[in-house]
Amino acid sequence: MSLDQNQIDVYKEKVGEVGASLVTSGMKVGLGSGSTSACVVRALGRRWQEEGLRFIGVPTSEETARLAQSFGIELSTLGKCPELDLDIDGADEVTRQGFHLIKGLGGALLREKIVRYAAKRFVVVVDERKMVDNLGDHTPVPVEVSTFGWEATAKHLEKIGAEISIRYKKVSVRFKEDCEDFFITDGGNMILDCNFGLVNDPVKLGQSINDIVGVMENGLFIDCTDEVLIAGQNGIQHLRK
Ligand SMILES: O=C(CO)[C@H](O)[C@H](O)COP(=O)(O)O
Looking at the structure, tell me whether residues 212 and 228 fall in a common domain.
no
185 and 154 in contact (C-beta within 8 Å)?
no
Looking at the structure, tell me whether residues 117 and 34 fall in a common domain.
yes
Q: What are phi and psi of 177, to 5 degrees?
A: -90, 165
> Best substitution site from 8, 31, 35 to test ligand 1's pocket, by max atoms within 8 Å of Cβ?
35
Q: Does the annotation list 16 as a binding residue?
A: no
Walk across the sheet containing 141-145 and list its strands: 172-174, 163-167, 190-195, 141-145, 215-218
Looking at the structure, tell me whether residues 20 and 128 fall in a common domain.
yes
Atom of ligand 1 nearest to the CA of 38: 12
Mean pLDDT, the chain, integer: 95
Q: Is the CB of 113 under 6 A from ligand 1?
A: no
What integer is the mean pLDDT of 197-208? 98
Q: Which DSSP symbol is given to 9?
A: H
pLDDT value of position 171:
47
| Three-state SS at 117 | helix
Looking at the structure, tell me whether residues 19 and 115 fall in a common domain.
yes
Q: What is the pLDDT of residues 103-139, one digit of tens each?
A: 999 999 999 999 999 999 999 999 999 999 999 999 9
157 and 140 in contact (C-beta within 8 Å)?
no
Looking at the structure, tell me whether residues 205 and 232 fall in a common domain.
no
* Cα within 13 Å of Cα(171), Cβ side: 3
pLDDT value of position 170:
62
Looking at the structure, tell me whether residues 94 and 24 fall in a common domain.
yes
Looking at the structure, tell me whether residues 155 and 182 fall in a common domain.
yes
Span from the CA of 104 to the centroid of ligand 1 (angstroms) = 6
Atom of ligand 1 nearest to the CA of 109: 4
pLDDT value of position 3:
78
CA dist 130 and 136 (Å) reads 11
Counting residues of the chain whose pLDDT is more than 90, the rounded percentage is: 92
Q: Does the annotation list 103 as a binding residue?
A: yes
Q: Does the annotation list 92 as a binding residue?
A: yes
* Cα within 13 Å of Cα(237), Cβ side: 13
Span from the CA of 86 to the centroid of ligand 1 (angstroms) = 18
Asked if pLDDT for residue 178 goes beyond 90, the answer is no
141 and 220 in contact (C-beta within 8 Å)?
yes
Task: Look at 21-30, 91-100, 161-170 and tell me which has the smallest mean pLDDT.
Answer: 161-170
What integer is the mean pLDDT of 48-69? 98
Looking at the structure, tell me whether residues 128 and 88 fall in a common domain.
yes
Looking at the structure, tell me whether residues 22 and 117 fall in a common domain.
yes
Looking at the structure, tell me whether residues 88 and 52 fall in a common domain.
yes
Looking at the structure, tell me whether residues 124 and 146 fall in a common domain.
no
Residue 61: CATH number of its domain: 3.40.50.1360
Q: Is the CB of 35 under 6 A from ligand 1?
A: yes
pLDDT value of position 4:
87
| Residue predicted with more confidence, 173 or 226 | 226
Give residue 192's domain range: 141-216
Looking at the structure, tell me whether residues 197 and 169 fall in a common domain.
yes
Beta strands in the chain (DSSP E): 28-31, 56-59, 86-89, 93-95, 101-102, 122-127, 131-132, 141-145, 163-167, 172-174, 190-195, 215-218, 220-221, 227-232, 235-240
Asked if pLDDT for residue 185 goes beyond 50, the answer is yes
Could you list the active site residues?
Answer: 112
| Total tally of structural domains belonging to the chain | 2
| Three-state SS at 198 | coil
pLDDT value of position 6:
92
Residue 184: CATH number of its domain: 3.30.70.260
Span from the CA of 11 to the centroid of ligand 1 (angstroms) = 15
Strand pairing report for 122-127 and 86-89: parallel
Residue 57: pLDDT band by 50, 70, 90 thresholds?
Answer: very high
SS (H, E, C) 175-196: CCCCCCCECECCCCCEEEEEEC
Q: Does the annotation list 35 as a binding residue?
A: yes
Q: Is the CB of 103 under 6 A from ligand 1?
A: yes
Q: What are phi and psi of 199, to 5 degrees?
A: -95, 105
